[in-house]
Amino acid sequence: MATITITVTVSNPGSGNKYYLDGVLQATYVATPGNTYKFDQADGSNSGHPLRLSITSDGTHNSGSAYTTGVTTNGTPGSAGAYTQIEVTALTVQALYYYCTAHSGMGGSFNTGSSATVQYQDREGFNIQNFSADQTSVGQLYYNTSSGQFKTIGTGVGTWASGTNTPGNRSLYAGFGTATASLMVSGNTASAITDLNTSYNGTAWSELTEINLGRTSMSGFGTTAAGVVTGGYDGAVPAPSAYKTNVEEWDGSSWTEVTNQPEMQTESGSAGSQTAGLIFGGGNNPGLTAKTKSYDGTNWTEVNALNAAKNRSMGYCIGTQTAAMIAGGDTGSITNQVEQWNGSSWTETTEINTARFLSAGSGSQTSSVIAGGRQSSNRYTNTELWDGTSWTEANDLATSRSYNVGVGSGNGSSANSSTQLYAAGVTGPSSNANTTATEEWNIPDFEIKTVTTS
Amino acid sequence: MAYKYCTATNWGKNFFTHEERRQFHLAGHPGDVWVVGDNLYGDQWIGKVSGAIKSKSEAQAIVTAEIEAAQAAYDALSADEQALQTRPAIYNLP
């Protein structure tokens, strides 16, 4: 869900004052359900011209009234911070009009949804309730007398689709960013550790400046403009000397070696930003560690440890320096433990259904997804969604995989449309081969299903 | 659930879409083997990706051969290298 700002100005083209939307006189605006539209009235020309929405053309000047569902207003038109905004959903009235509460004839049309949704959503349907749960409406049912079709409009179902293949196969890399702006740094190719630093824009992969110290099984956090890679090892078979404490920072164009970690901690979970990062758990050769360290952009500080030491959870990187999460991992046996960090301590919470390690995930403490991973020789396709309280089984990956990373704003929420990338890794379910194949998770805001009666 | 079997090379974006994942069962296996739900949409997808139809036994043979090759590669590793992985195990397609 995005917030789209529409800049509103008022000017007189010769027939009296009119609204201009993004510079277009009385523009007919077409909005998409799932987004919030903000009519920004900060420009001084808006003084004395409060904009509102109505199902009636010209609103109160034509015996109509203001439409208020999902609408909020702020400030005084003509002053900084003044706006009227509407959250457009599948159930928003399709044909709306914007108008000035003080003067007639200034506004225009604000249409939401496609012509298909207009056809059904401008009529009131029957609410559909979830019979097996509570009485909350989960959609609406409509009947089209022309086509003889029933249509249901409800929350979409999350699925994995194939993403753009990576330029070469990779696993055990550091990954961070969003579904449309991420980095896949270093890691293993089919036969060696690579220095490659590969970016993804949601459509295509491209190679950027390579990292100084190629390594594998490290942790990463941040964005494509300001990222951090830390730890890992640079030998195919990690001898003690192969483990690294090196830290490198990415500024969007190059890597810089900065202060090392105070001690070895690799294959850790990670979260946060370049100036407020966090690593937790992992290995310290030969054992496991529960240590948590925060990073302020310069120094590492040890803070309260996980309740249980666990390793190889680095692909499920959730949250921020003050609200992080770890799920699964290797505690000596493969676990389904989940812990949450509140900025000062870790608390155990509801366990994932399938114990696993080297899985991937993304999201936040209140809405996330975990997918793939492995236990013994089994590599999973299983996907579970977290809603802040419990885990729910969701549609599986098409191909099982582990040793990879999830990035993005991915979610377990049922009413979001965020996407995330689930890149490369080792495919399976019974192979040690790296893959170039990626999968992307998406939950549509809503979908329309048609049932034709006979 | 009834399945069809085919081989097809995953070209990446739009090889399978979100909508297709909602329309039929799809699972990838070693050797570019795909197990496809046997319905209209599954058939359409096999056509889209120019899938080569296989019988279940043919598909199983491809998967098994791939896993046996992976087992041989694993067996050739040193003990230290093997400790970092697991020996692939042969399994049966649904």
Is residue A324 within 8 Å of residue A272, measured between CB atoms? yes
* C-alpha–C-alpha distance, residues A30 and A287, integer Å: 58
Element (H, E) at A222: strand A219-222
Say if the Cβ atoms of A157 and B12 lie within 8 Å. Answer: no
Is residue A172 within 8 Å of residue A223, measured between CB atoms? no
- Among B22, B84, B87, select the one facing A377 at the smallest CB separation: B87
- Among A162, A398, A442, select the one facing B27 at the smallest CB separation: A398
- Give A182's Cβ-side CA count (13 Å radius): 28
Q: A274 is written with which tokens?
A: 């370049």
Element (H, E) at A138: strand A137-144
Strands A159-163 and A438-442: antiparallel
Integer CA distances (angstroms), A249 to A227, A320, B18, in order = 6, 18, 36
From the list A271, A151, A164, A254, the residue with the least C-alpha distance to A212 is A254
Q: Which residues of A touch B94 (CB under 8 A)?
A: none
- Let me know if A448 is exposed, middle or buried by CB neighbors in 10 A (0-12, 13-18, 19+): middle
Q: In DSSP terms, which residues pair with A100 in a beta bridge? A: A51
Q: Which residue numbers of B have CB closer than 8 Å to A's CBs?
A: 10-18, 20-22, 26-30, 66-67, 70, 73-74, 78, 80-81, 84-91
Say if the Cβ atoms of A161 and B18 lie within 8 Å. Answer: yes
Q: Which residues of A touch B14 (CB under 8 A)?
A: 161-162
The residue with tokens 């192979």 is A431
Based on DSSP, count helices (H) and strands (E) in chain B, helices before strands.
4, 4
What chain B residue is nearest to A429 in terms of C-alpha separation? B29
- Among A164, A395, A430, select the one facing B88 at the smallest CB separation: A430
From the list A168, A209, A160, the residue with the least C-alpha distance to A188 is A168
The set of residues, in sequence order, having a beta carbon less than 8 Å from that of B61 and lying 6+ positions away, is none
Say if the Cβ atoms of B28 and A398 lie within 8 Å. Answer: yes
Q: Is the dihedral of CA A396, A397, A403, A408 positive or negative?
A: negative
What are the structural domains, with CATH classification, of chain A? 3-115 (2.60.40.420), 119-154 (no CATH), 159-444 (2.120.10.80)
Predicted confidence at residue A257, as pLDDT, reads 95
Q: Where are the alpha helices (DSSP H) in A69-192?
A: 115-121
**Does residue B5 have a pLDDT over 80?**
yes
What is residue A327's three-state secondary structure? strand
Is residue A36 within 8 Å of residue A86, measured between CB atoms? yes
- Among B13, B78, B91, select the one facing A429 at the smallest CB separation: B91
* C-alpha–C-alpha distance, residues A383 and A45, integer Å: 52
Say if the Cβ atoms of B85 and A432 lie within 8 Å. Answer: yes
Q: B18 is written with which tokens?
A: 């979100």
* C-alpha–C-alpha distance, residues A105 and A98, integer Å: 10
- The per-residue pLDDT string of chain A (454 residues; one tens digit each, 9 = 90 and over) reads 577 888 999 999 998 999 999 888 998 887 777 778 899 999 999 999 999 999 999 999 999 999 998 999 999 999 999 999 998 877 777 789 999 999 999 999 998 754 444 444 444 455 555 554 444 455 666 666 666 666 666 556 788 889 888 888 888 888 888 878 888 888 888 778 889 999 998 889 999 999 999 998 888 999 999 999 999 888 766 677 788 899 999 999 999 999 999 988 888 899 999 999 999 998 887 788 999 999 999 999 999 999 999 887 766 768 888 999 999 988 888 899 999 999 999 999 999 999 988 888 888 888 888 888 888 777 788 888 888 888 888 888 888 887 777 766 544 443 334 456 665 666 554 556 778 888 888 776 555 566 655 4
- Among B11, B13, B22, select the one facing A159 at the smallest CB separation: B22
Predicted confidence at residue A296, as pLDDT, reads 95
What chain B residue is nearest to A382 in terms of C-alpha separation? B27
Q: Which residue numbers of A have CB closer than 8 Å to B's CBs?
A: 157, 159-165, 203, 236-237, 376-377, 381, 395-396, 398-399, 427-433, 437-438, 442, 444
The set of residues, in sequence order, having a beta carbon less than 8 Å from that of B69 and lying 6+ positions away, is none
Distance from CA of B89 to the nearest CA of A (A): 6
Whether ipTM > 0.90 holds is no
Say if the Cβ atoms of A430 and B13 lie within 8 Å. Answer: no
Distance from CA of A221 to the nearest CA of B (A): 25
Distance from CA of A384 to the nearest CA of B (A): 16
**Does residue B61 have a pLDDT over 80?**
yes
**0.90 surpassed by pTM:** no
| DSSP line for B47-72 | HHTT-EEE-HHHHHHHHHHHHHHHHH
Q: Which residues of B touch A438 (CB under 8 A)?
A: 12
- Among B16, B84, B86, select the one facing A162 at the smallest CB separation: B16
What is residue B22's three-state secondary structure? helix
Distance from CA of A233 to the nearest CA of B (A): 13
**Does residue B89 have a pLDDT over 50?**
yes
Is residue A281 within 8 Å of residue A226, measured between CB atoms? no
Say if the Cβ atoms of A165 and B10 lie within 8 Å. Answer: yes
Higher local confidence (pLDDT), A417 or B72: B72
Predicted confidence at residue A417, as pLDDT, reads 42
Q: A11 is written with which tokens?
A: 């000017």
Element (H, E) at B40: helix B40-48
